[in-house]
Amino acid sequence: MKAIILAAGKGTRLDGTAVKPKCLVEIGGLTLLQRQVESLRELNIERIVLVIGFGAESIRTECDSDISFVENIHFAQTSSLYSLWLAREHLAEGFVVLNSDVLFHPQLLANLLESSQEDALLISDTETTPLGDEEMKVKVKEGLVVDISKDIDPLEADGENVGIVKFSASGATALIRYMDDLIANGAVKDWAPRAFREFALNHPLHALSTAGLPWIEIDFPEDYQRAMNEVYPRIESQLSPGETYLAQRRQDTKDGEVVYD
């Protein structure tokens, strides 16, 4: 299985200027990207592909030689659906896709990858995450996704899409077909969950609860402050001492920059 990290967006909502890609924002001494890569490697996912666009060279500089890249040169005119579609040659064996602006407890990724459900996404329930117009909302029936969109009435949603989804080899094959159709029909500015919705209308896409484990998508300055002041401390407090130590041991400082070993 490969991991696809979507990191092409400009992220101007975070600081208004987008000086650097959101995935390079630091929390607790590590960037969001470093944390995601570390979590994947701890679960023996070594084949990692980054879809980059804005600030592409700065992201390349932060990564080691084992990471592959797909570049979305049209990042300013497209969205995550197009970025994932560009990486379609990497999807055929099955994959997990992560939005690069998500800070999450590593156990969430482990739960998803170790689940017996071949095609599944993580969903945070409405009891722990009040929903509004901005969130990518999910409707679930008997454990399966039946709708996913920002346009769903928050009162009718069963939870929020975390931004981490896995597909089996057969699921990936079907998803690529739906993405091909959507892109051919001009849906280049749609979010990747548009394709997940098409998949869910025709195939079982299981919804796995976050079960209260902490996570946050960082879109706005207030999200970053909440990540720093609430979510990151909760994650650290729930990790074992060995896990916390490993996270610190893995970072290395070279010429004033944090890089991978």
Task: Kindly report, residue by residue over 103-123, the tens digit of the pLDDT.
Answer: 999 999 999 999 999 999 999
Q: How distant, in Å, are the alpha carbons of 33, 58, 85 from that of 62?
A: 9, 7, 24
Our CA angle for 12, 103, 171, nearest 5°, is 95
Q: Give the domain ranges of the chain.
A: 2-253
pLDDT of residue 249: 42
pLDDT of residue 132: 86
pLDDT of residue 245: 42
pLDDT of residue 134: 86
Low-confidence residues of the chain, pLDDT below 50?
A: 17, 245-246, 248-261
What superfamily would CATH give domain 2-253? Spore Coat Polysaccharide Biosynthesis Protein SpsA; Chain A (3.90.550.10)
pLDDT of residue 149: 96
